[in-house]
Amino acid sequence: MSGSRMIGSPSNDRADGHLAADVSHAPHAPRPTGLVPGSGQTGAVGPQGALVLDPELLGRFDATGPRYTSYPTADRFTERFGADDYRSWLARRGTLGPGGAWRALSLYVHVPFCEQLCYYCGCNKIVTRHHERVPRYLEALARETELVSQALTGSRRVEQLHLGGGTPTFLSIAELDTLLDGLRRHFEFSTHGDFGIEIDPRTVTPATIKSLAQLGFNRVSLGVQDFNPLVQKAINRIQSLEGTAQVIDAARHAQFKSINLDLIYGLPLQSRASFAATLDVVLKLRPDRIALYNYAHLPERFKPQRRIDRAQIPAPHDKLGIMCDAIERLVGAGYVLIGMDHFALPDDELARAQRKSRLHRNFQGYSTHPDCDLIGLGVSSIGKIGPTYAQSARDLETYYAAVESGRLPIIRGLVLDADDLVRRTVIVALMCQFGVSKESISSAYLIDFNTYFHEELGRLAALEELEMVEVTRDRIAVTPKGRLLVRAVAMAFDKYLTPGTAGGRYSRLI
- Three-class HEC string of 143-159: HHHHHHHHHCCCCCEEE
Residue 507 has pLDDT above 80, yes or no: no
Q: Is the peptide bond before 72 cis (omega within 30 degrees of 0)?
A: yes
Q: How confident is the model at residue 22 (pLDDT cuts 50, 70, 90)?
A: very low
- Helices 206-215 and 241-253 pack at an angle, to 10 degrees, of 30
Which of these, 327, 357, 369, lies nearest to 431 by C-alpha position?
Answer: 357
Residue 129 has pLDDT above 60, yes or no: yes
- Which amino acid belongs to residue 434? F
Cβ atoms of residues 15 and 509 within 8 Å = yes
Question: What count of other Cβ atoms lies within 10 Å of the Cβ of residue 274?
Answer: 18
- Give the pLDDT confidence score for residue 399 in this predicted structure: 98
Cβ atoms of residues 330 and 341 within 8 Å = no
Average pLDDT of the chain is: 87
Task: Supply the DSSP string of 48-98, one letter for each residue.
Answer: T--EEE-HHHHHH---B----SSSS-GGG-BTTS-HHHHHHHHHHGGGSST
Q: Which residue has the higher pLDDT, 277 or 502?
A: 277
Whole-angstrom distance, CA of residue 392 vs CA of residue 411:
6
Segments of the chain assigned to CATH 1.10.10.920? 5-67+418-505
What is the arithmetic mean of pLDDT over 428-444? 95
Q: How many CA atoms lie within 13 A of 239 on its CB side?
A: 27
Residue 40 has pLDDT above 90, yes or no: no
Segments of the chain assigned to CATH 3.80.30.20? 107-379+394-403
Q: Which fold has domain 5-67+418-505?
A: Arc Repressor Mutant, subunit A (1.10.10)
Cβ atoms of residues 198 and 163 within 8 Å = yes
Q: Is the peptide bond before 99 cis (omega within 30 degrees of 0)?
A: no
Which of these, 85, 95, 98, lies nearest to 153 by C-alpha position?
Answer: 95
Between 209-218, 248-257, 262-271, 339-348, the lowest mean confidence (pLDDT) is in 339-348
The beta strands (E) that lie in 115-257 are given as 126-127, 157-165, 188-199, 219-225
Q: What is the DSSP letter of 295?
A: P
Residue 349 has pLDDT above 50, yes or no: yes
Query: Does pTM surpass 0.75?
Result: yes
Q: Which fold has domain 107-379+394-403?
A: pyruvate-formate lyase- activating enzyme (3.80.30)
First and final CA of the chain: distance in angstroms? Answer: 19
**pLDDT tens digits for 93-119?**
887 665 666 788 999 999 999 999 999
Residue 20 has pLDDT above 60, yes or no: no
